[in-house]
Structure 1
């Protein structure tokens, strides 16, 4: 059992909080209140960033002391939205939200994952017709091992998880968000994920 704070209680955060609770973890999900977020993060071992990506850096940088020494699982993508509300561009071209978070939070172990899929797949990967891939990006091997364990609790098989390397590799997976509006427009809002076929 791991004490987990999920920052963000929208569709993504709520879905992850419910699934991690079902898996036996002690989970606190909080919304936009800075005080509640700081308190939840301070008492957790793992913190999940499921806040809207455009404001994540500012929100989490303000929690620096509460996040010291914690594993921060970043599932958000920082994008500008088009007229239809779907992602239209990256806010950190040549970098990534995960890299920006790691720079702002040097005493926190940032791990990027689960950001290359629609949110239902995060907690039910086996529901897809083909095997999806969950990518890991991060500097700390122990932190990534903790995240692997949480992914297993969410239904991700070990061979469905690909460790891409350091936090700089998150810029590749975050860029994959630019597929999303086109896939949705062509096939509707149905669960899908990026998958590596070998």
Structure 2
């Protein structure tokens, strides 16, 4: 059992919290208020950023001391939305939210994952017709190994998880969010994910 704090109580955060609780972890969910987030982080070993990506950097930078020595699992994408409220552009072109978080939180081990799929796939990867891929980006091998374990608890097979390397590789997976509006417009709001087949 691991103490996990989920920052963000929307569809993504709630779904992850429910699934990780079922897997036997001690999960605390914080809303967007600074006090709620700080209280949750203080008692956690792992923190999951499921807050809206456009405001994540500011929110988490304010928790710099509380996040020290924690593993921060970042599942958010920082985008500029179009008129239909779907992602239209990246908020940090030439960089990524994960890189900005690692720069702002040098005492925290940031791992990017689960950001290349519709949120329902994060906790039910086997529901798709073919195996999806979950990517890992981060500087700390031990932290990525811990996150691999969490993904397994969420139903991900080890062969479905691909370690891309350092945190700089997150800019590639975050850019994949630009596929999303086109996929939704062409096929509807149905579960999908990026899949690497070999």
Q: TM-score, normalized by length of structure 1?
A: 1.00
Residues 1:91 and 2:95 are matched in the alignment: no
Query: What does residue 119 of structure 1 align with?
Result: 119
For residues 105-125 of structure 1, the C-alpha deviation after alignment (integer angstroms, 9 at most, x for no partner) is: 000000000000000000000
Mapped partners of 1:14, 1:113: distance in 2:
17
Written as runs of structure 1 = structure 2, the 5 A alignment for 1:1-198 is 1-198=1-198
Q: TM-score, normalized by length of structure 2?
A: 1.00
> Deviation at 1:188?
0.1
Q: Structure 2: which 5+ residue stretches go unaligned?
A: none
For residues 45-93 of structure 1, the C-alpha deviation after alignment (integer angstroms, 9 at most, x for no partner) is: 0000000000000000000011000000000000000000000000000
Mapped partners of 1:161, 1:12: distance in 2:
19
Q: SS where residue 6 of structure 2 aligns?
A: strand
Displacement over 2 Å in runs of 4+: none
Q: Structure 1: which 5+ residue stretches go unaligned?
A: none
Mapped partners of 1:82, 1:42: distance in 2:
36
Q: SS where residue 83 of structure 2 aligns?
A: coil
Mapped partners of 1:149, 1:56: distance in 2:
24
Q: SS where residue 110 of structure 1 aligns?
A: strand
Mapped partners of 1:108, 1:163: distance in 2:
19
Q: Give the alignment's Cα RMSD to 1 decimal.
A: 0.3
* Alignment size in residue pairs: 198
Q: SS where residue 35 of structure 1 aligns?
A: helix
Q: SS where residue 51 of structure 2 aligns?
A: coil
For residues 1-57 of structure 1, the C-alpha deviation after alignment (integer angstroms, 9 at most, x for no partner) is: 000000000000000000000000000011111011011111100000000000000
